[in-house]
Structure 1
Amino acid sequence: MSAPVMEMRLVEDVMAAGASLALPDDGVHSVCYVVHGEITADGTVRRDDEAVYLAGGAEVQAGRSGATVWRYEVAPAGVAAVCLDAASGVTREKLRQPLAWPVADAILIRADSVSFPPGGCAFLHTHQGPGIRCLIDGGIRIDALGHSASYGPGAAWFEAGPDAVFAQAATDRPSRFIRVMVLPAALHGRSSIAYVNAEDREKPKSQVYKGYVDRIIEP
């Protein structure tokens, strides 16, 4: 049997007060990160800088002041992202990327944030799986595959995992991005980063991590 064609995508839902979004049971795995406001999902309330993993026909409902949500999804390529209707708010696609699938025989979805002080960096490194990042504060430059790209708040980018990456944060303010990755399940509770240069492995690291989701799923 051939492997399914899968993709990762990131959409932004700007939800009106009390608006709801029904996520169908169609093989999509979602991580909803609350940028601003409040949502109720999976029987719990999530507020600013909190996230929840959802699958299997879940519903997301905005609180009385509405919410802005970054919805990271791992989905079959033929399944379109659900969008809010005009009365409930606006859904905007930020990024969509095909995946080399399967990542591993058993996989997990991890959501976390990576923060840097002014001038901080992540030394040349790789990861064991693909992921989408979206900058929420500051600025950052990403060097990979011989190219450099700079990002400001709200901008998203994809990293395949095995490609070596160097990250340089803005020098004049703190920076932080929200990241969702697909990783081998054997990494549950463990870091996925590997430094390319031996001399960097023992150096003090400037980045700080905050975890939201580390969930083993059915591939």
Structure 2
Amino acid sequence: MTDSHADLPRITLYEYDLGATPVDLAAGPYRFAYVETGALRVEDASGARTCAADDGLFLTGPAQLSGNGRIWVYEVDPTGAAFKWHRSIILSHPLAVAFDGPWLMRADRIESPSGAATPRHGHRGPGIRRLVYGRLLAEVGDHFARIAAGQAWFETGHDPVIGTNISDGNSAFVRVMVLPAELEGGKSSFMPTTPADAGKPRAVTNRLFGECLIPRS
């Protein structure tokens, strides 16, 4: 299978089940690995590292992934040149950003209690989310969708969004976004749609996994 947008910047989410055979990832794209279950061992340009379930880390250069359980790998390819169709892909989307300069790749985890709803909002850049557990009702622009555990979705950043936790307990998703470099250090990317939305409670807990700067020519 070929991709008609292979020359465009792209964000892609992969899923790998770790076992007897390590997963080898070539150098090129910028990557963040989240451990859904089990334990991950990474060997890359930063050395040998381990990561437990419900945690994550950024990968440096070519990487070998081993261990047990299931991991999600979020990949940002600023050129699109490295993208190839693969059976491990969960979701892939071209990137269109409305800012100049370096990109900030941010990985975090958002959790909300039952019944909580975000104010209508956007973000300073696009990204992919995937629900770890729970159930959400997502209103994105004029579209509505029920999102179940394991489901991934893409947000442009400029489309207005309302997310409501419709499960009986907490819901949590892992998010990787491409943002302006000026937000480095965990500065909020949240953009309420109206002054009234800005005054509403957000009722979410944010856990920042980390950030990575991506140079742009």
- Aligning the two structures, in what range does the TM-score lie when normalised by the shorter sequence? 0.7 to 0.9
TM-score between both structures, scaled by the size of structure 2: 0.87
Q: Which amino acid aligns with 1:30?
A: R
Q: Residue 196 of structure 2: SS of its match in structure 1? A: helix
Over residues 155-180 of structure 1, what are the superposed CA-to-partner deviations in whole Å (9 max), with x where a residue is unaligned?
A: 00000111111111114221111100
Q: Where in structure 2 are there 5+ consecutive unaligned residues?
A: 1-6
8 A contact 1:114–1:208 mirrored in 2: yes
Equivalences for residues 56-135 of structure 1 within 5 A: 56-62=61-67, 66-75=68-77, 76-80=79-83, 92-100=88-96, 103-135=99-131
How big is the alpha-carbon RMSD for the aligned residues of Structure 1 and Structure 2?
A: 1.8
Rounded Cα–Cα distance in structure 2 between residues aligned with 1:13 and 1:101: 28
> 1:86 — aligned with what?
none
Pair 1:55–1:20, CA change in 2 (3 A): same
* Residue 56 of structure 1: how far off its partner (Å): 1.6
Q: Say which is worse superposed, 130-139 or 50-59, in terms of deviation.
A: 50-59
Rounded Cα–Cα distance in structure 1 between residues aligned with 2:99 and 2:92: 17
* Residue 120 of structure 1: how far off its partner (Å): 0.6
- The equivalent position to 2:177 in structure 1, one of 170, 175, 181, is 181
> 1:49 — aligned with what?
54
8 A contact 1:22–1:57 mirrored in 2: yes
Rounded Cα–Cα distance in structure 1 between residues aligned with 2:10 and 2:19: 28
How many positions carry a matched residue from both structures? 204
User: Which 4+ stretches in 1 moved above 4 angstroms?
Assistant: none
Q: Which amino acid aligns with 1:74?
A: V
Q: Where in structure 1 are there 5+ consecutive unaligned residues?
A: 84-90
Pair 1:142–1:113, CA change in 2 (3 A): same
> 1:203 — aligned with what?
200
* Residue 8 of structure 1: how far off its partner (Å): 0.7
